[in-house]
Amino acid sequence: MKKYIALMTTAVIAASMVSSCGKSATSGSSSQIGEQTKSEHQWQNSETLNEWQKSLLKAEGLPTDIEQLSPSQKCSIQHIYEMITYLNEKYDEEFVYAGYVEPSVMDEETLYAYPKQFGPEGGKNTVEVTLDEKGNFTDTYSDMGVSSYLEKLIGDYVRGYFKSDEIAYFMTVNDSNIDSMAEVGNGDFQWKIGLMNSFFFSDKYFTQEDIEKFAPIFAKWLYEHKIVSDNHLNIVRNVDVKKATYSNNDACYKFENNVFFFDLGIDRKSVSTTTSINRDIKRYDTEEYINKGFD
């Protein structure tokens, strides 16, 4: 659960690739779809390495001479460079490589990076670059002003509702079509942003009943602000939640420290819930759930 975006280094780059360099990128594996849509993006097939590529290979303990790389390693380093260049050019800022997953039947080709000026913050600022259904680059980057504003807005609401700071909160932006704060008026996110919110409540101050009562109220607040999100509300023991940070939150995610969890998913049409007491997923119409309130 914690830091699902891990650093993927030598083992990943060195692994065998399914795709081919110098060909059109496609949206899926041939074993998954009968007919692939050709990409407008053409992968390069360079016979040389630039300084950025050499630096990354050296950091991973791999040869910096292209002739010493295997075909799969050569493909990976070329794809990585093109994907991070896409980010740098699209947003006119420098991104730092954080990991890479090559394409396979089970995995989508993905680059992980973060904006240099903001740093990784324990994975909070990690951006994913993948290929869309047409095989073109797409990414999860959102303006840091927007994500910082949203994180404070949600954190202040939850702590204000409970009148307590014995709550740790970590937010991940999974998807965003909001480019700047200019698009956000009166806290209305227009269903254009998708989040994963993880809350950790100290068992010294919170009970299962507190969380179950809060869930439909929180769902209504998210609905009013038009925020698509998966929300994990956890009561934990043996954790000083006030000291937990993005880079120091291991104790929050330890199974043995979990007392109770309530998972709440919401979009404009539906709500889903599951708890540690009843792991069967319950589904509701959004307006029905927020107007009546269910435990």
The per-residue pLDDT for 162 is: 97
Ramachandran angles phi, psi of 200, nearest 5°: -130, 115
Nearest Cα residue to 259 out of 211, 193, 187: 211
The per-residue pLDDT for 186 is: 84
Domains in the chain: boundaries: 10-139, 144-292
Q: Which two structure tokens, joined as six digits, stand for 115?
A: 């904006």
What's the chain's length in residues?
Answer: 295
- Tell me the mean pLDDT per 10 residues along the chain, length 295: 36 42 49 41 84 96 94 94 95 94 90 90 84 87 84 97 96 86 89 96 97 96 97 97 93 96 97 95 93 62
| Side chain identity, residue 49 | L
The per-residue pLDDT for 268 is: 94
Q: Which two structure tokens, joined as six digits, stand for 202?
A: 């100290």
Nearest Cα residue to 88 out of 120, 55, 114, 58: 114
The per-residue pLDDT for 24 is: 55
The per-residue pLDDT for 61 is: 95
CA pair distance 119, 122, nearest whole angstrom: 9
The per-residue pLDDT for 23 is: 57
The per-residue pLDDT for 221 is: 97
Collapsing DSSP to helix, strand or coil, 228 comes out as strand
The per-residue pLDDT for 133 is: 83
Nearest Cα residue to 141 out of 174, 168, 108: 174
Against a cut of 0.85, is the pTM above it?
no
Q: Which two structure tokens, joined as six digits, stand for 143?
A: 């303006």
CA pair distance 134, 165, nearest whole angstrom: 46
